[in-house]
A and B are shown apart, each in its own frame.
Chain A
Amino acid sequence: MGSGRWEKQKLTTKKKVKDIARELIALYAKRKAEPGFAFTPDSYLQTELEASFVYEDTPDQAKSTEDVKKDMESPSPMDRLVCGDVGFGKTEIAIRAAHKAVCDSKQVAVLVPTTILAHQHYRTFRKRLEGFPVNVDYINRFKSKKEQKITLDKLAEAKVDILIGTHRLVGKDVKFKDLGLLIIDEEQKFGVAVKDKLKQLRVNVDTLTLTATPIPRTLHFSLMGARDLSIINTPPPNRQPVETRLHTFDKDLIKDAIQYEVGRGGQVFFVHHRVRDIYELADMIEELANVSVAVAHGQMEGADLEKVMVQFMEGDFDVLVATSIIESGLDIPNANTIIINNAHMFGLSDLHQMRGRVGRSNAKAYCYLMSPALSSLTDDAKMRLRTLEEYADLGSGFQVAMKDLDIRGAGNLLGGEQSGFISEIGFEMYHKILDETIRELKDEEFKGVLNEHRIIESRDAVIDTDYNLVIPDYYIKNVPERLSLYTAISKLETEVALKEFQENLKDRFGVLPDVFTVLLETVRLKWKAMKLGLEKILIRGDKMKLYFPSDPNAFVYQSDEFGKVLNYVMVNPNKFNVKQTNSQLVITSLGVDDIYEALGLLSEMERSLIA
């Protein structure tokens, strides 16, 4: 095919993806064969823990919990990835799994990428498991050597059930008495050395990995057999929307907002876009609202930064003036107001992330977006701010929109460093390539291992006809709407979806014109072509040509089904004519007057498969 740079880039990407995926599938297969610990079914305590969750489980959350528990109860070691956006309740699933492990007297390691997160998870776990017979502890560099030793000694004696920490957890001196579950948060953020250690660990220990990377459901399907995956796509139902106000910079408003929040015992995030004048701003706020203020930004020493964050978490300050560093995973339930200064300087996903820092408890949460007068902003900036104001809810619509814009942390799906080439080829294309690669691997290299039945179906078929291929103007005039419908048509995959699509169109635009119906029939034609293992169908006038793959090694040629089709074609010489050019087999049929005849002929061929 092409000789361009693209082809090369695609091949390199594919090769890299393939290497990572191969390793992953191999590991997966190995684990399935390895004996592990089978946890016992839920105890009464487990039921009570799950019932005491303050929010209602979303269906996805309930499903994920079930998935995890089933994995734990099975004898082979678990390796499940739970994907869900910020605030969708991944931590709750981790807590439930941890508790289940502890109920069977096993220890749990919770590995997180930063010291702050370690601290935060420790608080969350402890609070959530309050009143349950579980000992939670943490280890990070805020603890003195002596304190660390005490914790580690307790761990070795199994006096600590759940230990939370950073990469320190995989250190040599950390010895669990009986480790039963490993929980890893945002694995892609760990270095290679840690990952290698994790790889050894997880061969026979149940592992649960959490990530905020959005993964489309379609990809979920192809990942089956490479990684066990649970997706949480829906936000918690009774979580309240964050009241979002767009406003020009206004000292009175800032003062009111801060004093209101502090007055009800809460804390405030104040986000500023640059470090240069952040201290001046902090002084201004301190004076303005008469509150205690701390500053945090990315140019601070790591240890200092962590200290400020932890102090804020402990409630030592009323207001945290910070740069956008607060976007990453920080969870302070007591902070329920966020003020974002110069909001127009941030991207939509950053703003969404930052706003997600508040509204995580029962108190009503507020987000103030400060920007110059709207009239002075670019259209793009205006749209971003409006979108955010519009979607106060973590509604599903917004999630869909965000997914398109978002590649944050993308690539940890396979646990490798992939974000580099994702930004080169785009997020969706990466998913497409990943999908293709895994299917190839499963077909070619892991055929026996995964025990999947091979089918002759081709991955795609080209349908080239000389029929009209258009939605007429008089039916749908709006051009973007036509485009989005064409796109939807090309993505249809099942008869049910096609029928529904047709019904919906009839509802919105009235009875479909014949031309349009023919267009939809070509979709059915394509499905049939794929089922028969065809590569291409060409229709010119009343002549239809069916092309089998040009690659002589294609699986279809080795299959029984192919023999059946060929046999059927041979015994019906009045309808078909078979010709071989080079290595490619082409069947020609004449007198195909319209699409319905073409469909009829293919249906007959399809029936011969079953015979």
Chain B
Amino acid sequence: MKTADLLAIWAQHPKLTNLQTDQDLTLNNNLGSVTSMLIAGYFNFLKGTHLVIANSKDEALYLFTDLVNILGPNKVHFLPSSYIKGINHPQEDANEVKQRTETISKLKNGALSGIMVSYHDAVYEKIADLKTVKKYVFEVTKGEQVDIEFITDLLEECKFERDDFVYEPGYFAVRGGIVDIFSYAHEYPVRIVLDGDTVESIRYFNPETQLSVSERNEIKLTPNIKDTELFKTYEPIFEYFNTDTLLWISDEDIFKQQIAKYWKEVRKSDESDSSTELIISSQQLSARLNNYRRITWGFSSDKKEQLDLSTSAQPTFQKNFDLILDELKQWHLKGYDLFVFAENPKQIDRLYQIIEDTGSKIHFEPVYSGLTAGFVDHSLKKVFYTDHQIFGRYFRYKDKRRFSKNAAITLKELQGLHPGDFVVHIDHGIGKFAGMHKMEMNGKVHEVVRLVYLNNDLLIVPINSLHKISKFTGKEGSAAEASQIGIR
């Protein structure tokens, strides 16, 4: 069974009609992944823009993963905070800023049809005024005439930094007719290859291997929207969601209390540095929230109409298969339909195998897709269980790949040779790497590696003998000693 069929089943859900009012609602007994299923089902019916505000990044990523699994990747977007350690530690992380920019650039003044999944911290954070952002976004198309100087000037104006290689958003590199750029609005950095002044090819590349992964016809380059030199005005995120947007909020009380607490502390410490200007005020938040229809769950003291989803959570079985089969049988006898979610078809086969081995006759419908947490829906009379809970596995949410310059560089540093490093030559022993050198021989150039041995004896290693040397790695921390070089 596919997730599309699942949506069809879900469209019959009696509780969906309860949602079709203008009322604010609070969800009760929403256990397991029923919340994501409800959001997906209602979106499928209503379309429009939905903003889901989870309590934590983890909760948001699990909701996001479920929604992507049900609705496919094009309708669901994830909006993280730029600060990985929370708004109290305004330390920006380039990857998060990139994903934030990537998501925000999809917002065209609230005209987004889809679901934006975010969380408390990420919503507190204001975003740059989109009109200014557009000024700095520029497009490159295949076959177009471009001057390489023009591109580099433009990139520098947009505060991109020049480096030899590109590993992280915000950097660019030029090598001959090739320009590598890590724009803020794409998962991968892009490589623009010029033939003279013509754009010959545009491709995404993987910063870890520095090799191309796919071709593009055009590319929009977006600068860092958190750059306060480029962008002066910042607005609450709600500026970009018109009032038709439906808000789904987890723990609304905590959402409001935390920002109040944050501002109280800022006032107390009397530190109004620039980072506080990027955070929404407590009053602003409350006022803005009131503009939207809200459906909340968890802690919420506002008087709202309650909607009981009448679900129960999938119990943990600790791999006790007799219990599992018993339980499934019970539901079957009560007239419930059984569905088991699994990302890996092997897990379904395993379940079939177990049922067969024990000689029981249980029919369930496999759904080949991941789900965060299983549940029993009593109003729909259906059981949605997950393989990972049955077998006690760990379910990992989908997260975008992170690229980090530090990671790439430390790896290079650890592997590469640096002047002063100890190296071993298989014929001559331990020496110190003294860099590379170009030698002239009869008008021909040979680049060589130089090693210094005891008494400053110098050994020249031609590049086609480099396999004879290797970095010396003895016990960590123990110092090596250069050997005396032999006399030929």
Contact-size category for B = 35 or more
CB-CB under 8 A for A383 and B410, given A426-B472, A469-B447, A509-B178: yes
Within 8 A of B (CB), among A474-505: 474-484, 486-487, 489-491, 504
Residues in B with CB closer than 8 Å to A10 are: 426, 429
Judge whether B412 and A480 touch: CB under 8 Å. yes
Separation of A417 and B367 alpha carbons in the complex (Å): 54
Residues in B with CB closer than 8 Å to A475 are: 176
For residue B396, which residue of chain A has the nearest CB? Answer: A238
How far, in Å, is A84 (CB) from chain B's closest CB?
Answer: 20
Of B232-240, B297-305, B475-483, the one touching chain A: B475-483
Separation of A391 and B409 alpha carbons in the complex (Å): 12
Separation of A401 and B471 alpha carbons in the complex (Å): 13
Judge whether A510 and B176 touch: CB under 8 Å. yes
Per-residue B-contact encoding for A397-417, CB less than 8 Å = 1, 0 else: 100110011110000000000
Tell which of B407, B418, B428 touches A397, judged by Cβ atoms closer than 8 Å.
B407
For residue B404, which residue of chain A has the nearest CB? Answer: A390
* In the complex, A221 has a CB within 8 A of chain B: no
Separation of A519 and B446 alpha carbons in the complex (Å): 10
Tell which of A470, A480, A489 touches B416, judged by Cβ atoms closer than 8 Å.
A480
Separation of A476 and B178 alpha carbons in the complex (Å): 12
* In the complex, A507 has a CB within 8 A of chain B: yes
Judge whether B404 and A429 touch: CB under 8 Å. no
How far, in Å, is A599 (CB) from chain B's closest CB?
Answer: 15
Of B208-216, B223-231, B245-253, B270-278, the one touching chain A: B208-216
* In the complex, B445 has a CB within 8 A of chain A: yes
* In the complex, A173 has a CB within 8 A of chain B: no
Residues in A with CB closer than 8 Å to B205 are: 507
Separation of A345 and B406 alpha carbons in the complex (Å): 21
Separation of A491 and B165 alpha carbons in the complex (Å): 23
How far, in Å, is A347 (CB) from chain B's closest CB?
Answer: 4
Separation of A489 and B465 alpha carbons in the complex (Å): 10
CB-CB under 8 A for A407 and B483, given A9-B429, A510-B175: no
How far, in Å, is A89 (CB) from chain B's closest CB?
Answer: 14
From B424, B465, B483, B487, name the one whose CB has the most chain A CB atoms within 10 angstroms. B424
Judge whether A467 and B444 touch: CB under 8 Å. yes
Judge whether A2 and B463 touch: CB under 8 Å. no
Tell which of A56, A238, A428 touches B470, judged by Cβ atoms closer than 8 Å.
A428
Tell which of B353, B442, B467 touches A51, judged by Cβ atoms closer than 8 Å.
B353
Separation of A479 and B165 alpha carbons in the complex (Å): 12
CB-CB under 8 A for A469 and B476, given A6-B483, A401-B411, A509-B176: no
* In the complex, B368 has a CB within 8 A of chain A: no
Judge whether A468 and B445 touch: CB under 8 Å. yes
Separation of A386 and B407 alpha carbons in the complex (Å): 9
Judge whether A362 and B176 touch: CB under 8 Å. no
* In the complex, A471 has a CB within 8 A of chain B: yes
CB-CB under 8 A for A470 and B476, given A1-B486, A482-B436, A509-B175: no
Judge whether B413 and A383 touch: CB under 8 Å. yes
Judge whether A486 and B393 touch: CB under 8 Å. no
* In the complex, A324 has a CB within 8 A of chain B: no
Residues in B with CB closer than 8 Å to A487 are: 417, 466-467
Judge whether A424 and B463 touch: CB under 8 Å. no
Tell which of A238, A464, A510 touches B393, judged by Cβ atoms closer than 8 Å.
A238
* In the complex, A3 has a CB within 8 A of chain B: yes
From A6, A239, A405, A432, name the one whose CB has the most chain B CB atoms within 10 angstroms. A6
Residues in A with CB closer than 8 Å to B428 are: 2, 4, 6
Judge whether B445 and A470 touch: CB under 8 Å. yes
* In the complex, A309 has a CB within 8 A of chain B: no
How far, in Å, is A311 (CB) from chain B's closest CB?
Answer: 25
* In the complex, A48 has a CB within 8 A of chain B: yes
* In the complex, B420 has a CB within 8 A of chain A: no
CB-CB under 8 A for A6 and B393, given A51-B353, A387-B410, A397-B411: no
Judge whether A54 and B391 touch: CB under 8 Å. yes
Per-residue A-contact encoding for B161-196, CB less than 8 Å = 1, 0 else: 000110000000001111000000000000101000
Separation of A397 and B401 alpha carbons in the complex (Å): 14
* In the complex, A5 has a CB within 8 A of chain B: yes
Separation of A368 and B282 alpha carbons in the complex (Å): 32
Per-residue A-contact encoding for B363-399, CB less than 8 Å = 1, 0 else: 0000000000000000000000000000111111000
Tell which of A404, A425, A470 touches B438, judged by Cβ atoms closer than 8 Å.
A470
* In the complex, B344 has a CB within 8 A of chain A: yes
Within 8 A of B (CB), among A444-489: 462-464, 466-471, 474-484, 486-487, 489
For residue B322, which residue of chain A has the nearest CB? Answer: A131
Separation of A477 and B178 alpha carbons in the complex (Å): 13
Judge whether B462 and A469 touch: CB under 8 Å. yes
How far, in Å, is B46 (CB) from chain A's closest CB?
Answer: 34
Separation of A55 and B347 alpha carbons in the complex (Å): 11
Within 8 A of B (CB), among A93-123: none
Per-residue A-contact encoding for B240-260, CB less than 8 Å = 1, 0 else: 000000000000000000000
Judge whether B483 and A391 touch: CB under 8 Å. no
Within 8 A of A (CB), among B29-66: none
Per-residue A-contact encoding for B107-140, CB less than 8 Å = 1, 0 else: 0000000000000000000000000000000000
Judge whether A470 and B447 touch: CB under 8 Å. yes
Within 8 A of B (CB), among A1-33: 1-7, 9-10
Residues in B with CB closer than 8 Å to A347 are: 476-477
* In the complex, A348 has a CB within 8 A of chain B: yes
* In the complex, B357 has a CB within 8 A of chain A: yes
Residues in A with CB closer than 8 Å to B412 are: 480, 484
Separation of A128 and B373 alpha carbons in the complex (Å): 25
* In the complex, A222 has a CB within 8 A of chain B: no
Residues in A with CB closer than 8 Å to B464 are: 463, 469, 489-490, 522-523, 526
Judge whether B208 and A6 touch: CB under 8 Å. no
Residues in B with CB closer than 8 Å to A464 are: 462
* In the complex, A581 has a CB within 8 A of chain B: no
Separation of A350 and B475 alpha carbons in the complex (Å): 12
How far, in Å, is A488 (CB) from chain B's closest CB?
Answer: 9
* In the complex, A557 has a CB within 8 A of chain B: no
* In the complex, B474 has a CB within 8 A of chain A: yes
Residues in A with CB closer than 8 Å to B429 are: 4-7, 9-10
CB-CB under 8 A for A4 and B164, given A362-B392, A429-B470, A470-B445: no
Residues in A with CB closer than 8 Å to B319 are: 52
For residue A480, which residue of chain B has the nearest CB? Answer: B416
Per-residue A-contact encoding for B420-443, CB less than 8 Å = 1, 0 else: 001010111110000110100110
Judge whether B416 and A6 touch: CB under 8 Å. no
How far, in Å, is B417 (CB) from chain A's closest CB?
Answer: 6
Judge whether B350 and A429 touch: CB under 8 Å. no
How far, in Å, is B390 (CB) from chain A's closest CB?
Answer: 11
Separation of A504 and B176 alpha carbons in the complex (Å): 16
Within 8 A of B (CB), among A65-110: none
Judge whether B486 and A52 touch: CB under 8 Å. no
Residues in A with CB closer than 8 Å to B488 are: 1-2
Judge whether B393 and A349 touch: CB under 8 Å. no
For residue A485, which residue of chain B has the nearest CB? Answer: B463
* In the complex, A568 has a CB within 8 A of chain B: no
Residues in B with CB closer than 8 Å to A3 are: 486-487
* In the complex, A508 has a CB within 8 A of chain B: yes
Residues in B with CB closer than 8 Å to A425 are: 424, 430
A residues with CB within 8 A of B: 1-7, 9-10, 44, 48, 51-52, 54-56, 238-240, 347-350, 362, 383, 386-387, 390-391, 397, 400-401, 404-407, 422-429, 432-433, 462-464, 466-471, 474-484, 486-487, 489-491, 504, 507-510, 519, 522-523, 526
Known: A348-B476, A469-B462, A477-B175. 8 other contacts (CB 8 A): A7-B429, A424-B474, A469-B446, A470-B438, A470-B447, A481-B165, A483-B449, A519-B463
CB-based closest 4 A-B pairs: A2-B486, A6-B429, A490-B466, A428-B470
Of the A-B pairs whose beta carbons lie under 8 Å apart in the complex, a sample of 17, sorted by A's number, is: A4-B483, A6-B430, A7-B486, A397-B208, A404-B415, A406-B473, A425-B430, A428-B470, A468-B445, A470-B447, A476-B175, A480-B416, A483-B436, A490-B465, A491-B467, A507-B205, A508-B178
